[in-house]
């Protein structure tokens, strides 16, 4: 007989990991969007010297 008691824990764990991954991805994209232009300006200023 197969026991499915751990299925809920496995599903919950995978849901938490997916949520953490989504939060990290979103925060990285936001940081690149806001600071990406600043970094490009710094590189242009450094190359222009």
pTM for the model stands at: 0.57
Give the whole-number percent of the chain exceeding pLDDT 70. Answer: 86
Mean pLDDT across the chain: 82
- Predicted pLDDT of residue 49: 63
Span 18-35, pLDDT tens digits: 999 999 999 988 888 877
- The C-alpha angle 2, 5, 9, rounded to 5 degrees, equals 135
């Amino acid at each position: 007989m197969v026991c499915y008691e751990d299925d809920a824990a496995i599903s919950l764990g995978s849901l938490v990991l997916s949520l953490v991954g989504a939060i990290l991805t979103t925060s990285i994209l936001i940081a690149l969007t806001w600071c990406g232009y600043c970094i490009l300006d710094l590189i242009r200023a450094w190359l222009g010297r």
